[in-house]
């Protein structure tokens, strides 16, 4: 009987974030209007939108990276830094909702912001993928 292949937590996080960041990044590039509409609609809901954005989109990847991926060298460092920055954004948004609302309002600036965000997500995804294969 052979044992199934088990991967370590760091590798699992890199694998998950490779695919999710690339997918979300491409979505931001090809559907920026969809993302603009989504975040504009969230912003219109007021401060309660901070809870929705933080707990559905940002907190879980931040916690996964911060708790399971503390790699401070090579291309994987980009993923670790991304996780800590995302956790800082979540913390600030929840504790100071007016600041979080300013972040949501940026969605109303149009496609350029989402295209830039998409490119940054792709960079994070590429670094996660690169770390998997080095």
Rounded to an integer, what distance in angstroms lies between the CA atom of residue 110 and that of residue 129? 29
Looking at every residue in the chain, the average pLDDT score rounds to 94
Residue 108 lies in a domain: yes
Total Cβ atoms within 10 A of residue 58: 15
Residue 116 lies in a domain: yes
Mean pLDDT of 70-81: 97
pLDDT tens-place string over residues 86-102: 999 999 999 999 999 99
Mean pLDDT of 57-79: 97
- The pLDDT of residue 43 is 92
- The pLDDT of residue 3 is 63
Mean pLDDT of 101-117: 89
Locate 48 and state its tokens: 């309660």
Nearest to 69 by CA among 18, 123, 6: 18
Residue 55 lies in a domain: yes
Kindly state the percentage of the chain with pLDDT values over 70: 98
Residue 4 lies in a domain: no
Rounded to an integer, what distance in angstroms lies between the CA atom of residue 2 and that of residue 51? 45
Kindly state the percentage of the chain with pLDDT values over 90: 86
Residue 1 lies in a domain: no
Total Cβ atoms within 10 A of residue 111: 15
Number of domains in the chain: 1
Using an 8 Å Cβ cutoff, are 125 and 75 in contact?
no
- The pLDDT of residue 109 is 85
Residue 2 lies in a domain: no
Q: Which residues 6+ apart lie within 8 Å of 85 measured at CB?
A: none
């Amino acid at each position: 009987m052979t044992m199934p292949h088990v991967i370590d937590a760091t590798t699992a996080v890199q694998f998950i974030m490779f695919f999710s960041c690339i997918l979300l990044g491409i979505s931001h590039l090809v559907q920026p209007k969809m993302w603009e509409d989504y975040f504009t609609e969230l912003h219109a809901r007021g401060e309660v939108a901070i809870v929705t954005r933080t707990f559905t989109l940002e907190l879980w990847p931040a916690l996964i990276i911060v708790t399971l991926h503390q790699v401070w060298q090579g291309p994987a460092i980009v993923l670790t830094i991304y996780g800590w920055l995302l956790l800082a954004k979540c913390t600030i948004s929840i504790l100071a909702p007016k600041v979080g609302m300013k972040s949501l309002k940026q969605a109303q600036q149009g496609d350029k912001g989402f295209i830039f965000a998409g490119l940054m997500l792709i960079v994070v995804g590429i670094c996660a993928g690169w770390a998997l294969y080095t």
